[in-house]
Amino acid sequence: MSTQPALVVEQVAGTEILEGRTPKRAPSRFSMERVNWPGTILIALCSVTVLIPLYVTISMAFKTREQAVDGNAFSLPNPISVEGFVAAWQLTNFPLAFTITVLVTLATVAGTILLASVASFAIARNWDRKLFRWSFYYLLMAMFIPFPVLALPQIQLTGLTGLDNPVGVTLLHIMFQLSFSILLFTAFLRSIPLELEESARIDGASTWQTFWQLIFPLLAPMSATVGIFAFLASWNDFMMPSLIISDPSMQTLPVVQSIFQTQFSNNYNVSFASYLMAMAPAIIVYLFTQRWVMEGVTQGAIKG
Amino acid sequence: MTTHAPVTTSAGRTGPVRAGRNGTGAVPKAKRKVEGIYYLFLLPSLILFTLSITLPAVIGIFFSFTNSIGFADWDFVGPINYIAAFSDPAILQSYLFTVGFAAVTVVVVNVVAFLLAVGLTSRIRLKTALRTIFVIPMVISGIVIAFVFNFLFSNSVPQLGQSTGVGWLSESILANPDLAWLAIVIVTAWQAIPGTLLIYIAGLLSIPGDVYEAADIDGAGKVAQLTKITLPLVAGYVVINVILGFKGYLNAYDIIVGLTNGGPGTATRSVAMTIVTGFTSGDYAYQMANATVFFIITVGIALLQLALTRGRNVL
C-alpha cells in the first residue's frame, strides 16, 4: 500500500498543472538549484504520521485471530491470513451494505451533477431576471445550514413520508451538495463564451439541445470536481444515514462498522478487515482522480 | 466572498447580448421573455430544496416554541425552551467543549498545515508523491478512522507506555475525562489538515518567485522571508482556512462518536451530539431550541466570514 500512491503519482505527474513552481527550479535562481534534502527528509518523516494508521489497518486486517488479540498493532501479519475478511464479509453482510452504499453514492453523484448543472444554466443565462437571481441566493443558503441543525425535523419528516431509508438519505445528500455545486457551476458557466451558444442556436438547436449537446460536455471538468465531492461526502457519511435510515439491515458501510464497538470487540482482525473494506474504495477513487480532488478543494475554498 | 460578484459581471454581460439574440436588439433594455424550459431547469432544485431544507428548518423553529416530543399532541409554550436550554448544565457544557475543541483544533490544523505547505512548495524531492500521501486522510470516512485511532489510543499507545515505562502513556487517554478531548483534536486534525494544506499550497504558489529573489538580493534571511513576505501574502488564505475550519469543527460528530461517544461521562459530548439526543430522550422541542441557537451562531460566523473576505483581493 505504501508504495502504491507513489506509483500512481508518477503517472499523473506529467499532467500535473497544480505544480506551478517550475520557475523556481529554472536556473534563474543563480546556482541555488540544489535539492533541499533536510526538508525532504523532514517532510517524509511527517508523512509517516499519515501512513501509520493506514499501515496498522492493513496489517491488522491480514492477521490471524490469535496474532491480532495480542494487541501489538505494529507487528507484521505472520502468517498472512484472510480469515478476518471472510468473517467481516458475513458479519456486516458486506454485499448488501456495499451495494446500498454504492447505489446511494452513485445516485448522489448523478443527481447532484444533473440538478445543479441545469439549475446553474438557467440561473446563469437569466441573471437579469429577479426570479433567477433570488433563486441563486436562496439555493446558496444551505451552505450556512449544517446538518445537525436540521437533523431533528428531517428525521421527523423522513419518518412521516416513508423516506427513512437509503432513498431519503440520497435525496438529503444531493440537497446538501447542491449549494456548493451550483456555486461552482455558475462561476464556470460565466466563463463560457456566449458566442458558442449563439452559433448553436443559429444552426437551429433548441435550448435543451444547446445545453445537453454543447454546454454539458463543456462543463465536464467542473462536473468532475462536483462529482468527486459528492462521492466523498456521500460515501463517507456516518451521521445522516445513522439517524435517517430506520432499518438497521439497510444501513450504509460506515454505519455498519459500529457493530464492532459492541459485539465481537476482541476480534480485531475482523474489525480491521471490515474498516479496510470500507475505506479502500474511497482511497482507490482518490488515487485515480487526485488532480480533480486537489483542484476542487482549492476552487471550493476560493469560491465558497 | 464571490456571492456578490456575479451581479456585476453577469448582469453586465448577459443582459445586452441576450436581448440581441431574441431579435429585439433594437431596444436593448426591453424585457425579454424567458423561455419556459429555463423554469423547468430551475424548478426541480427549488422544489426539492424547499421540501428538504427550508421546510424542516421552518418546522424545527416552529416546534422549538412548543412542548412537542416529536409525535403526539403538543402545545405552545413560548420561549420557555430557550430559557431552560441555557440554564441546562449539560447543554452549556456541550457548548463549552465544542467551542474549546474547535478553537484548539483550528490552531493546530493551521499551524501544521501551513508549515507542511511551506515544506511541500520548497525545493524538495518526491513532491507529488508526498502530497498524494498527505491528502489521503481527507478521503477516509471520519467514523472509520476514529475506530482505528480508538484501537491505537486504547491498546497500542498504553502498551508502548508500559514497555517503555512512561507512566502517563500507559493509560488510555480516551478513558481520562481531562485528556479525552486531546485525542479528538488529534484525529480531527489528522483528517482536516489535508484540505487546509491544499488551500495553503495554492496560496503559496500564487506568490511570484521573484519576490523571494529580490529578498535574497537584499539579504533577507529565510525566517525574515517567511514572516515578512510569505505570511502577509497568504493572510487571505489564513482567514479562509480559520473560518471554514472553525465552522466545520463546530459540527463535530462522526469522529467523537467513533472515539469516545461523548464520554467518559459526558466530558466530550458535542453540540451536534446533544441535539440529536432530542429524539431518543423525548426532548424534541427542547433540543430544537438548542439547534436554533446553534444555527444562529453558525450564521453569525458565516456573516463574519463574508465581512472579512469581502473586498479582499487576495483571493
> Are the C-beta atoms of A60 and A54 separated by less than 8 Å?
no
Mutate to test the interface with B, among A149, A262, A272 (most CBs of B within 10 A): A149
Residues of B in contact with A121 (CB under 8 A): 41
Residues of A in contact with B116 (CB under 8 A): 43, 46
> Are the C-beta atoms of B241 and B113 separated by less than 8 Å?
yes
A74-95 residue pLDDT tens: 888 888 888 889 999 998 999 9
Can you name the CATH fold of A93-303? MetI-like fold (1.10.3720)
Output the pLDDT for position A32. 52
Output the pLDDT for position A118. 96
Q: Percent of chain A scored above 70 by pLDDT?
A: 86
Query: What are the residue ranges in chain B where pLDDT is below 70?
Result: 1-31, 310-315
Task: Tell if the CB–CB gap between B57 and A279 is shorter than 8 Å.
Answer: no
Task: Tell if the CB–CB gap between A297 and B276 is shorter than 8 Å.
Answer: no
Range of the domain at B218: 81-309
What is the secondary structure of A68-96 as a DSSP string?
A: HHT--TTSPPSS---HHHHHHHHHTTHHH
Q: What are phi and psi of B76, to 5 degrees?
A: -70, 135
Output the pLDDT for position A296. 79
Output the pLDDT for position A265. 64
Is residue B99 domain-shared with residue B243, that is, in the same domain? yes
Q: Is residue B71 part of a domain?
A: no
Which triple of cell numbers denotes residue A207?
435550448
Burial of B226 (0-12, 13-18, 19+ CB in 10 A): middle
Higher-scoring residue by pLDDT: A79, A175: A175
Which residues are within 8 A (CB) of A304 and not within 5 positions of it... i.e. 6 or more apart? A143, A180, A183, B1, B244
A194-239 residue pLDDT tens: 888 888 888 888 999 999 999 999 999 899 989 988 999 999 999 9
Output the pLDDT for position B7. 34
Task: Tell if the CB–CB gap between B251 and A148 is shorter than 8 Å.
Answer: yes
Q: Is residue B125 part of a domain?
A: yes
Q: Is residue B198 part of a domain?
A: yes
Task: Tell if the CB–CB gap between B151 and A50 is shorter than 8 Å.
Answer: no
Task: Tell if the CB–CB gap between B299 and A36 is shorter than 8 Å.
Answer: no
Task: Tell if the CB–CB gap between B272 and A239 is shorter than 8 Å.
Answer: yes
Is residue B285 domain-shared with residue B218, that is, in the same domain? yes
Domain count, chain B: 2
Residues of B in contact with A119 (CB under 8 A): 41-42, 44-46
Is residue B27 domain-shared with residue B126, that is, in the same domain? no
Q: What type of residue is A127?
A: W
Beta-carbon contacts below 8 Å between A and B: 335
Q: By CA distance, what is A135's nearest residue in B?
A: B46
| Region of poorest pLDDT, from A255-264, A294-303, B54-63, B234-243 | A294-303
Number of DSSP helices (H) and strands (E) in chain A, helices first: 17, 0
Q: How far is B178 from chain A (nearest CA, A)?
A: 22
ipTM reported for the complex, 2 dp: 0.84
Mutate to test the interface with B, among A43, A215, A268 (most CBs of B within 10 A): A43
Domain boundaries, chain A: 4-81, 93-303
Is residue B175 domain-shared with residue B281, that is, in the same domain? yes
Q: Is residue B45 part of a domain?
A: no
Radius of gyration of chain B (CA): 26
Q: How far is CA A185 from CA A18, A165, A192, in A?
A: 20, 29, 11
Is residue B90 domain-shared with residue B10, that is, in the same domain? no
Output the pLDDT for position B222. 82
Output the pLDDT for position A220. 92
Average pLDDT, chain B: 83
Task: Tell if the CB–CB gap between A178 and B45 is shorter than 8 Å.
Answer: yes
Q: Is residue B75 part of a domain?
A: no
Task: Tell if the CB–CB gap between A71 and B190 is shorter than 8 Å.
Answer: no
Q: Is residue B69 part of a domain?
A: no
Which triple of cell numbers denotes residue B315?
483571493
Residues of B in contact with A251 (CB under 8 A): none
Q: By CA distance, what is A197's nearest residue in B?
A: B21
Is residue B156 domain-shared with residue B248, that is, in the same domain? yes
Output the pLDDT for position B19. 39
Residues of B in contact with A13 (CB under 8 A): 128
Q: Write down the residue that cell numbers 485471530 correspond to.
A: A65
pTM over 0.90: no
Question: Using the 8-state DSSP alphabet, how is residue B21 labeled?
Answer: I
Is residue B149 domain-shared with residue B19, that is, in the same domain? no
Is residue B155 domain-shared with residue B26, that is, in the same domain? no
Rounded CA separation B256/A148 (Å)? 14
Which of A23, A49, A118 minimises the CB distance to B209? A23
Which of A157, A243, A257 minimises the CB distance to B143? A257
Number of DSSP helices (H) and strands (E) in chain B, helices first: 16, 0
Residues of A in contact with B288 (CB under 8 A): 152-153
Q: Is residue B150 part of a domain?
A: yes
Output the pLDDT for position B256. 95
Is residue B17 domain-shared with residue B141, that is, in the same domain? no
Q: By CA distance, what is A202's nearest residue in B?
A: B21
Rounded CA separation A39/B271 (Å)? 40
| Region of poorest pLDDT, from A119-128, A250-259, B212-221 | B212-221
Is residue B227 domain-shared with residue B147, that is, in the same domain? yes
| Region of poorest pLDDT, from A10-19, A42-51, A245-254 | A10-19
CATH code at position B237? 1.10.3720.10
